[in-house]
Structure 1
Amino acid sequence: MTYCLAIKVREGLVAIADTRITSGTDTTVKKKLYVDQKEKHSIFIMTSGLRSVRDKAIIYFRELVEEGAEFNKLYKAVNAFGQQVRRVSEEDKVPLEKAGFKFNLTTIIGGQLKDDEEHKLFLLYAEGNWVELDQGSPFVIIGNSGPGKPILNRTLNDQSSMREALKGGFLSFDSTRMSTNDVDFPIDVVLYNKDSFAITEYRYEKKDLEHITAQWADELKAALHRIPEDWMEPAFEKLNATKDCQEKIDL
C-alpha cells in the first residue's frame, strides 16, 4: 500500500510520500515521488498502484519532456501524463489482468508552470481523466487514505500556513503508519512556494521524527483525560442499575 498526500494552501503546496514497497513478505524502500524542475516549470508527480505501471508511465512522460515537449499550463502536463497512462494500459492491461493483477494507478500532480496564475493540484485516475483540487478540498490522499483524513479535516483549510500543512500532514502520515504495516518511513517531502518556480525536496528518516511521534501520542492521551465526563453519567447510571437488577435475579 501507499501513503501520498498533497495539500494546497494559499501560500503554496506541501506533499508527503512514503517509500515502503511491499511484495508478499518482502519490503523495500523506493521513491514514489518524481520532480521535474526547470525555468518557469515546477512539477511533482506521486503515484499509488502497481509499481510497474508507475515506472513505465513516468519513463514515457520523462522521455516526452526530454524530446522537447513543453507545457505552459499544468493541466496540459496532466493531460500528457494521462496519455502515457493510457498508453501503458493499452500495452499492459490485458496481460496484467490475465496474470491476476488489476491495472491500477492513481496519481497526484502538483506545481506551477509559466502561464498558471497560481500553483495547482490535480488528481489523475487510471483511466486518464482528472479533477482539480480547489478551495473546498485543500488536500488529497492516495493509497491508504482512511486513518490520516480525520486530523486533516479537523485542522486544515486553504488559509493554513505551509508550516501548519506540513505539521498536520506528518501527523496524518503517522496515524496511518500506526494503523497499518505497509506504510512507513522514510518519507519524502516536497515544498513549493506560490510563484517561486522552485521545488524543495527533503527526506525524513524515522529517527528524525520519533520525538514528534512520541509527543503526539502523549498529547493525545492528555487530551483524552481532559475531556469532561459528566455527559457519560446517564449511560453509566443505567449500566449500574442493570447490574444491580441482574445481581438481585441471581440471588
Structure 2
Amino acid sequence: MTYCLGIKVKQGLIAIADTRITSGTDTTTKKKVWVYQKDNCSLFIMTSGLRSVRDKAMVYFDELMEQNEYNKMYKAVNAYGEQIKRVAAEDRATLEKAGFKFDLNTIIGGQLKDDDEHKLFLLYPEGNWVELGSGAPFMIIGNSGHGKPILNRVLREDSSMRLALKVGFLSFDSTRVSSNNVDFPIDVVLYKKDSFEIVEQRYEKKDLEYISDQWAQELSTALQNVGEDWMEKAFHNLPETAI
C-alpha cells in the first residue's frame, strides 16, 4: 500500500509520499515521487498502484517530457493520461488474465509558464482526471482512511505552507501507526506559487520521531481536558459494584 498526499494552499503546493514497497513478506524502499524541473516548468508526480503499470507509464512520459514543452499543466496532465491509456491497451488484458487488476492512481502538481497559478490534479486508472477545486484543499491516494480526519479538521485554503506541511506529516503519521504497509522514509516536495522552483527533502524516522512522540503526548493531554458532563446520563444508571 502507499500513502501519497498532495496539498494546495494559496501560498503553494505540498506533497508527501512514503517509500515502503511490500511484496508478500518482502519489504523494500522505493521513491514514489518524480520531479521535473526546467525553466518555467515545475512539476511533480506521485503514484499508487501496480508497479509494472506505473514504471511503464513513467518511462513513456519521461520520453514525452524530453521531446516536448508544455506551457500549461492540463496539457502535461493530458499527455500523462494518454500514456496510462497506452499501457492499458498494451497490458491490461494480459494482467487481468493473470489475476492482476489494472490499477494506477496519480497525483500531479506544479505550475508551467502560462499557468496563472499552481495546480493539483488527480488521475484515475482510466486516464481521466479532475483538478482540485475550492473544496477540501488536499487529495490522498493509497491508504487514505486514517489520515483524513486531521486534514479535514485543520487544513484550509489560506493555511500557510508551514502549517500544511505540519498537518500533512501528522496525517502520514496517523496512517503509519494504524497500518503496517506505510512507513518511513518519506519524501517531501514544496513548491511556492510563481517561483518555478521545486524543493525536495527526505526524512528518516529518526528525523521526525520526536514530533510523533510530542503529538501523541499532546493528544493525551488534550483528551484529559475534554468536558465530561455529557457522560453523566450514560454512567448514572450503571449499578454500583461492591468492593
Q: TM (normalized to structure 1)?
A: 0.95
2:122 maps to 1:120: no
> In the aligned structure 1, how far is the partner of 2:84 from the partner of 2:119?
20
Matching residue of 1:150: 149
Matching residue of 2:37: 37
CA apart distance, 1:239: 2.5
SS in 1 for 2:171: helix
Structure 2 runs not aligned, ≥5 long:
none
Deviations 1:57-110 (A, max 9, x none): 0110001121x2111100000000000000011111111111111000000000
Matching residue of 1:19: 19
CA apart distance, 1:124: 0.4
2:175 maps to 1:138: no
> In the aligned structure 2, how far is the partner of 1:82 from the partner of 1:239?
60
Matching residue of 1:7: 7
Give aligned pairs, total. Answer: 242
2:193 maps to 1:194: yes
**Structure index of larger Rg:** 1
> In the aligned structure 1, how far is the partner of 2:51 from the partner of 2:32?
9
SS in 1 for 2:217: helix
> In the aligned structure 1, how far is the partner of 2:215 from the partner of 2:199?
26
Amino acid at match of 1:212: I
Pick the structure with more helix per residue.
1
**Equivalent runs, 1:1-251 vs 2, <5 Å:** 1-66=1-66, 68-240=67-239
> In the aligned structure 2, how far is the partner of 1:30 from the partner of 1:150?
27
> In the aligned structure 1, how far is the partner of 2:237 from the partner of 2:94?
61
> In the aligned structure 2, how far is the partner of 1:73 from the partner of 1:105?
23
Amino acid at match of 1:194: K
Amino acid at match of 1:96: L
SS in 1 for 2:101: coil
Identical pairs, percent: 72
Q: Is the 8 A contact 2:136 2:152 kept in 1?
A: no
